[in-house]
Structure 1
Amino acid sequence: MMHSWLHPLPLIAILRGLTPHDAVAMGEVIADAGFRMLEVPLNSPEPLESIRLLQQKLGDRCLIGAGTVMTTAQVDDVAAAGGRLIVMPHADTNVIAAAKRAGLFCTPGVATPTEAFAALAAGADALKIFPAEQVGPAVIKAWRAVLPRDLMLLPVGGITPDTMATYVAVGANGFGIGSALYAPGREVADVSRRARAFAQAWASLSQGTNA
């Protein structure tokens, strides 16, 4: 189950713009910070090669896959590259069903309750709340009252270490982390520092929640 990959650090690293040349070095420092889910958006340079390299190096301790997956054909491409995770910006039920037929985890993007329930009916493993800037904490609180209690809700978009607490307070279970973590041209040491800052923020937040 996806829950096992999101424990104890329920953060998905979104590595948009990653190149194969940098894939392993970036993936290693992010994994070393505690991240266990990494996605390479398909609008990155040679994304399937980056996924293949990350899977070879980190596949035993991280769930590796693709983001910005738009078609069923792309699902097949990701599976062929060794990816095990499909993340989508939308809730196309055909793409979700294709991912599940291929035995992959799937986290579609949703922005309305109608999309959320349709995605779940198609087999989604978790829901990406996207864009989080638009679907804010008040909306997530309302959704949480009607969605399954054990469903993982993962806001994505504009998330920083300082903004996570507001979402968790209303029922978010984790987050997708994009440019606040990784951006093309950023040094490995900087990405490592950012990854650890997110991990530390989550640890502090979890301790406060469990206190």
Structure 2
Amino acid sequence: MNPRSSEDLFDLAPVVPVVVLSDAADAVPMARALVAGGLPAVEVTLRTEAALGAIERIAAEVPDAVVGAGTVTTPEQAERAAAAGAGFLVSPGCTAGLYEAMAATGLPTLPGVSTASEAMALLERGATALKFFPAEAAGGRAYLTSLAGPLPQVRFCPTGGVTAASAPDYLALPNVGCVGGTWLTPADALAAGDWERVGQLASEAAALAPAR
């Protein structure tokens, strides 16, 4: 079920849950709840020691999930995430070296940008699917609207400050393929193992897909 290209990531679901896990044991029930709610793509951020183990478990035990590694900031992290079974890679920003390492894995990638110049630099390398981060702090919907004119071939996944309330406005933009959000997996729900709540939030988010 893993996407073959970066653009394919946009077709999986309107919202990609951005998850921080402190316990790899939570990975499988969380992923199953998200998938059941209609969100098959799950971005596990490499911000904790449990992250790679969580990716391994989801990849092995939740076949309907497409698990990716987020917060990839070094070539080594890209390699280790790929080895753990990640189906895609996401970075908060991007350098030439990091992009080369991510591309070398053969996995779909969403390299992060926050300016037109950064987007153009990646466009020169053939990347047309990008992460826009931090979305709200970097200009939000208005900034992405401004980029649509000069860079019509680029599509974005805005992440950072996006909420259930603001997601529909982002998704209505022609150059937005999906959004990334942390609201799908609240810390208190993860701590309590409240997978029913996670599934409900996922179901509500899955329904945000706009008519094109």
Task: Confirm or deny a common fold (TM above 0.5).
Answer: yes
Match of 2:82 among 73, 79, 82: 79
How much has 1:8 moved relative to structure 2?
5.2
Unpaired segments ≥5 residues, structure 1: none
Deviations 1:93-121 (A, max 9, x none): 21121111111111111110011111233
Q: In the alignment, is the contact (CA less than 8 A) between 2:46 and 2:71 conserved in 1?
A: yes
Long gaps (5+) in structure 2: none
Distance 1:37 1:125 in 2: 19
Quote the sequence identity (%): 29
Separation of aligned partners in 2, 1:125 and 1:170: 16
- Name the structure 2 match of 1:114: 117
Q: Secondary structure at the match of 2:134?
A: coil
SS in 2 for 1:176: strand
Letter in 1 for 2:120: F
Residues 185, 165 of structure 1: alpha-carbon distance in 2 compared, 3 angstrom cutoff: closer
1:8-157 map, 5 Å = 9-58=13-62, 60-124=63-127, 126-134=129-137, 135-149=139-153, 151-157=154-160
> Is the deviation greater in 116-125 or in 67-76?
116-125
Residues 31-68 of structure 1 deviation map (CA, whole Å, 9 limit, x = unaligned): 1112121111111232111000011123x433212111
Structure 1 runs of 4+ aligned residues shifted over 6 Å read: none
- Is this contact kept in 1: 2:14–2:177, CA < 8 A? yes
> Relative contact order: is structure 1 or structure 2 higher (C-alpha 8 Å, sep ≥ 6)?
2
TM norm structure 2: 0.87
User: Which residue number corresponds to residue 201 of structure 2?
Assistant: 194
